[in-house]
Structure 1
Amino acid sequence: MRRFNLVNWLLGIVISGAFVSCKKEASPPLVSSLTLVNTVAGSEPLITDFSEDGNLINYAGALRVPYGSYNDAFLLPVAKELQPLRLFQYPDTTSGSKPLFDLKLQLGKGTINTLFLTGTVAHPEYLISTAIPPLHQAADSTFGVRFINLSYQSRPVDVYVTTGTGEKAADGLAYKSITDYKRFKAVAASGNYTFEFRDQQTQNVLATYVFDEVGKASGNLWLFRNFTLAFTGLPGVTQGDQKQDALLVLNY
């Protein structure tokens, strides 16, 4: 299981605040956060270009966002309320290249945003979510999960938690639909949580994801945190990179 590390993000904010505080006449900048999630079926790693004019940048050093993966590098601070963002398929980054996405993102100051890139290379689509993750009190011992259907033009899915009572966590989640955060207990008796994405019509299990060692006493990866569990891939595909699968994204 990958360990989520927000040290670099927090350190950058602290350094920025310290630098600004040295100037009495200046106010600390109020930044937003933007998380990038690439679930565009068939895409190569997407190269980010945040420049205003679209001139050539150093693509060798630019951020690459591979298909179907997440790490802390995809969580970015954004200072502008209207932020241009072009995303190119690597290595198609020459001056004559056409971006797969050419966006103008309107991000409120101090907001928490996730940009979900979906669809296919032939029909790219996106969805941006702005939401404040829930705060978890120490006495509650909980974590939060929300669910999103990013499986291109798939039928609605139900999401079940097979641990404990086998409750339904989401009902009839259509393509490009997202739920609110739901709280789950992370105590010693919790064990593992297994989440299943099921075709709503047939109830066939299409993808699963296991949150293991949820009740671990120390080094708990889940406790007091919030996540997005995304249903990805193409309907009917059961093998290879484009198969229907579940992708976990950290949201603080």
Structure 2
Amino acid sequence: MQIIHHHFMNAGRMAMVCLLLTVITAGCSKSTLNEDNPATLVLFNALENGVSVRANLSGKHPITYLTALEIRPRNRALIYSKQANQPASFFSVPDTLPASIPVWSGDLKLEKGKTYSMFLVNGNKGAENVLMEENIPAPGKDSLTYLRFANMSSAQPVSINIKGNPLGSLVSQLNFKETSAMLQLPADRSVASYIFEVHDATTGNLLAAYTANNINVYTQSNPYLFKTWSLVFTGKPGATGANLQQLTVLRYF
């Protein structure tokens, strides 16, 4: 009986060693996988005057216009990178600057596995970039939508509210190149739509509005329920056409 008991103890020890090795191996594999995930860059073209840009992400010159990624006005592009210092140059379309000078150029500091947003702002002369790391909320049990506002209009600070509510009740003041906190809004069957209003934070004048419809329609893919998105405010005061002040939806995935 003693010998049999000793045999079972040895077998048990061996089983525990195998289990630990399996857990350690799985942990190492998972860590390696996360390290290999690229950084995700969500690039939004908020440049004035309806300027499209083409991106040169190779670090090599000159840019090859025919194959370079194009980002149209008030549109976004998803870029994936494994470089800690991602070279980036953006050229206007058509190229109106002398000697192929980029609208903006620089190295983007990115970390693998993380998500970033980048906004190109101002005109094609004197353009700036706004780069920020994102923390996309994990969907919870409640029927919510996750919304943030970005002020990329260089004119004035603004306030934001839902139509019918007091001015500034969602965001009291948002300056140029600033983004609001991530707001959690109900997206259940009781909510058919939201109308978001942007006002001049000083005068209270209405500058732009956006209507989000069919929030409680679940018969098709719902773009709001459990989703993270932004409304980007762009344009110039009193302008029309390409510089009309307006809100544009920015979706991350």
Under TM normalisation by the shorter chain, which class is it? 0.7 to 0.9
Report the equivalent of 1:141.
143
Post-superposition Cα deviations, 1:92-125, rounded to whole Å, max 9, x if no partner, equal 2999311011111001221110110101223212
Q: How far apart, CA to CA, are the structure 1 residues paired with 2:61 and 2:97?
A: 10
Q: Which structure's residues are more often helix, by fraction? A: 2
Report the equivalent of 2:95.
92
Q: How far apart, CA to CA, are the structure 2 residues paired with 1:55 and 1:214?
A: 46
* Percent identity of paired positions between Structure 1 and Structure 2: 25
Q: TM-score, normalised by structure 1?
A: 0.81
What pairs up with 1:1-252 in 2 under 5 angstroms?
27-28=32-33, 29-52=36-59, 54-70=60-76, 74-92=77-95, 96-137=99-140, 139-152=141-154, 154-162=155-163, 168-219=169-220, 220-237=222-239, 239-252=240-253
The residue type equivalent to 1:129 in the other structure is M
How many residue pairs were aligned? 221
Mean Cα deviation higher: 56-65 or 28-37: 56-65
Q: How far apart, CA to CA, are the structure 2 residues paired with 1:95 and 1:199?
A: 37
**CA-CA distance at 1:34 after TM superposition:** 0.3
RMSD of Structure 2 on Structure 1 (CA): 2.3
Query: What SS does the corresponding residue of 2:190 show, helix, strand or coil?
Result: helix
Query: What SS does the corresponding residue of 1:61 show, helix, strand or coil?
Result: coil
Unaligned runs of 5+ in 1: 1-23
Unaligned runs of 5+ in 2: 1-28
Query: What SS does the corresponding residue of 2:113 show, helix, strand or coil?
Result: coil
